[in-house]
Structures are given as structure tokens and as C-alpha cells.
Structure 1
Amino acid sequence: MSTESTPTDAQTDETNWAVTYDVDPIRIRDPVAEALAVLEPGDPFVVGYEDVVTVAGHSCPTAAGAYRIAQVGLEALYPDSDPVRSEIEVLATGPRDDPGYGITGQLLSVVTGAAGIDGFGGLAGGFGGRQGLLSFDAFQTDAVGPTFRFRRTDTDETVEVTYHVGDVPDGGPAIGHLGDLVEGTASDDQRAAFAEAWHGRVRAVLADDSLFSVTPLED
């Protein structure tokens, strides 16, 4: 017979989302959502880092990096207005089957809507279509670290974003407890130490602008 007590609302909330992060959400308009009365005209979707974590299934420096790549890239591309899905092309310098580029590209698609051949084709006449707006092995660069380009299809303005993943803090020896956590043999102290180190790395990615370079590109 189970001896567990019924969790309180506060405990349930903590179980459902035990880790919190302090990072601004991304506001992005979607013409299809507006046309179908999901959103009022001009109102944006608000995408938070938690949405990216839900898709990825976990929080890590790669997921955090993808979120920040999208955030800083869109802010540079749309300095005076909300970005617009279906008008944003995302180009990756690396291949789709690269563990970093493939996952990052998928998470960038969640935010921007940009997709490959399997993307949304648009309403009648292609309105709001996002198919073919995400490409890999699309350009070459001398930048060190995962690099993506964001292009506005309405103006052709383009920015290049590089994630200096090599500069992310390593988290120290507590990261070594990961194997024990996966095997279920970690002590409470090891789990707590790992969590502090792991999520400390994630918070560093979400907060440190120096980990990202944004370069406007000339035509």
C-alpha cells in the first residue's frame, strides 16, 4: 500500500515545472492566425523559453542557445516591430544531421515557423506559407560556433548570428553526476549539485549577450 500523501497545489506546480528561468519572451505575429481569428489583427503570439523546453523535452545549453539565437536574430532583423512568420527565412551553415544544427534548426522552426519541405504550405494561394523557409548547408562562414542567418523575405534584410558555444561555462565536476542520474543511482546531494551546475549553465546562456554575435549582412 502506498504511503505517499496527496500533493498540495504548490507541490504539483513545482513538479510540473520545477526550474524557472528569467528570460524575456519572444513576440511574433502570424498572418494565418490573424486571418483565422486565432489572434486579433496585429496581436502577436508570445513564445517563452518554456515553450522551447517543452518541444525539446529538456533544458540544456543547446535549447537555450536556440532560443537566444532566435531572440537576438529577430530583434536585429525587426528593431521597430514584431517579427512576422512566413516572412522569415532561416539558413544554417551546418548540415541537418549534425546533432547541434538539426536540433537547433527544429527549435528555431518552433519560434519562427520557418520549415523545410514538410512545412505549412499556406492558405488558399499560399498565404502565410512557411514551406521551404528553413535550409541547411546553405552558406559558408569563417565564424566559430553554430551560425544561422535570418532573412526577411519582404525586404531581403539579413543578419547572421553565431553562438559561441565554446565559451559556455563547463559547470564543473558536478556535471559528472549525469551518468548516475540516468542510471538512477545518484544521491540527493549529487542530484542537487548536478541540477545547480546544469541549470546554472543554461541560465548563463540565457543571460550572457557576449555568447552571441549578430552581424547585419550587406546585399
Structure 2
Amino acid sequence: MSESTTETDRTNWTVDYDVEPIRLRDPAAEALAALEPGDPIVVDYRDVVKAAGHSCPTAAGAYRIAKDGLEALYPGDELPVRGEIAVLAGDPRDDSAYGVTARLLSYITGAAGEDGFGGLADGHGGRRNLLRYGAIGADGVAVELTRTDTDETVRVTYHVEDVPAGGPATSTLPKLIDGTATDAERAAFADDWHGRVAAILNGDRYVTVERD
């Protein structure tokens, strides 16, 4: 397939986030020859924005939960493996933070509920029943990630209470929604909003990782 470079065939982002991507192996993709064995699937924050439909503190927090948690579970050059990562997210699933966070973690890790991919042949690369919801008993937005091949677990907490408040320009959001914002108001909003997101993606104090 040839790659089109026309403006209508790619996403014309107005902001660039300087954050490392997440690299994972996908056994099903390798088996079906979509990837060479051992080559990673690369997920960056822009992919998560596409899945969420927007960039916001919740999407940024979900990305950091996945990135920091997987780096702790798979140290060094070892790649995380889709189908071998279980996710336990806090209740309730319809919570504005937990529900969206769990969906984005599912997108990144492949972990899914009872309706997830069952795997090839004898379950090779399956992700079904790897995403669950339950009480974790932690402050902030807490998620447990488990390697099913070793049973190692880490608890990753996103400290939403430490997230900086939106700047004064974010008060113009209603005008951006109804299309009455000026170019200057739109630019000021973007600086405040995306500056906040960038702080979450790169700041050390927003996410902590504990081993079980």
C-alpha cells in the first residue's frame, strides 16, 4: 500500500507532546504475519487521543498508568506482551475516571472483558477476561497490572489531586464549543489546556508505582 501525504489523509495535529511511546509484543499479530516475530506494536499518546476522542488529564493519566506500570513489570529491554497482562481497575466502571481509564488501558494492553478476543487455536494471544473492576482501596485513581506469566503485580496510582488546575483561559471552553471564540481565545485555551496535559505526561509526582 502506498502512503498518502495529502492533508486529508492524515491527522493534522495542532499540538505535539514530547513523551516516549509504549512498545509491546502482540503474539496474535506475529502469528498472523502482521508483524515479524519479536517486533513491537508501538502505541504513542496520539494513538490514545484517537481512542479517547480528545486529549485531557484523564487520557494523559491513563497513558502514564500504562507506561509506568509496564516499565515496572517488564524491566530493561523486555517487552510487555499483549495477552499476558491483566488489568484490575477500581469500581465503578461508569465512573468518569475509572471507566475511561480502563477503556484506554484495554486499548494499550489488549486486556478485555468477557467480550474480548479469545485467541487463536488454543487461545494463543487471547485477551478475554483480563480486564476486571473491583475495589482496590487506594487514594487517587488506582489500577493493578499483573503479568499472567509470572503473577507479578504492580499497583499504579494516578494522583489526580496533584493535577494543576486549569489556567484562566480554560474558562472560555463554552465559547470554543459554540464556535464564538476568537483566534486569540482559542490559542490561549490551547496553551493552558495542553500545558496541563503535558505536565501530567512528563511530571514525576503524578504517578506512583508499588509492587504487590
- Which bracket does the TM-score occupy, shorter chain normalised? over 0.9
Bigger radius of gyration:
1
Alignment-derived partner of residue 4 in structure 1: none
Q: Is 2:103 aligned against 1:128?
A: no
- Kept in 2, the 8 Å contact 1:171–1:200? The answer is no
Report the residue type matching 2:22 in the other structure: I
Question: TM-score, normalization: structure 1?
Answer: 0.90
* 3-state DSSP of counterpart to 2:129: coil
Alignment-derived partner of residue 107 in structure 2: 110
Alignment-derived partner of residue 212 in structure 1: 207
Deviation of the 1:127 alpha carbon: 1.2
More helix by share: 1
Q: Select 2:55's aligned residue among 59, 80, 88.
A: 59
* 3-state DSSP of counterpart to 1:126: coil
- Relative to 1, partners in 2 of residues 1:172 and 1:14: Cα closer, same or farther, differing over 3 Å? farther
- Relative to 1, partners in 2 of residues 1:38 and 1:146: Cα closer, same or farther, differing over 3 Å? same
Q: How far, CA to CA, are the matches of 2:7 and 2:40 in structure 1?
A: 32
- Kept in 2, the 8 Å contact 1:94–1:146? The answer is no
* 3-state DSSP of counterpart to 2:58: helix
- Relative to 1, partners in 2 of residues 1:15 and 1:67: Cα closer, same or farther, differing over 3 Å? closer
- Relative to 1, partners in 2 of residues 1:153 and 1:201: Cα closer, same or farther, differing over 3 Å? same
Q: How far, CA to CA, are the matches of 1:38 and 1:52 in structure 2?
A: 21
Q: CA RMSD in A?
A: 1.7
Q: How far, CA to CA, are the matches of 1:10 and 1:93 in structure 2?
A: 43
Q: Is 2:171 aligned against 1:171?
A: no
- Kept in 2, the 8 Å contact 1:122–1:130? The answer is yes
Q: How far, CA to CA, are the matches of 1:129 and 1:71 in structure 2?
A: 21
State how 1:51-200 maps to structure 2 within 5 Å: 51-80=47-76, 81-137=78-134, 139-141=135-137, 143-200=138-195
Q: How far, CA to CA, are the matches of 1:118 and 1:150 in structure 2?
A: 19
Percent identical: 64
Deviation of the 1:118 alpha carbon: 1.1
Deviation of the 1:140 alpha carbon: 2.7
Specify every segment of 5 or more residues in structure 1 that has no aligned partner in the other structure, as ranges: 1-8
- Relative to 1, partners in 2 of residues 1:163 and 1:11: Cα closer, same or farther, differing over 3 Å? same
Q: How far, CA to CA, are the matches of 1:190 and 1:15 in structure 2?
A: 23
- Kept in 1, the 8 Å contact 2:24–2:82? The answer is yes
Number of residues paired by the alignment? 207
Deviation of the 1:94 alpha carbon: 2.1
Q: How far, CA to CA, are the matches of 1:12 and 1:92 in structure 2?
A: 37
Q: How far, CA to CA, are the matches of 2:148 and 2:117 in structure 1?
A: 16
Question: TM-score, normalization: structure 2?
Answer: 0.93
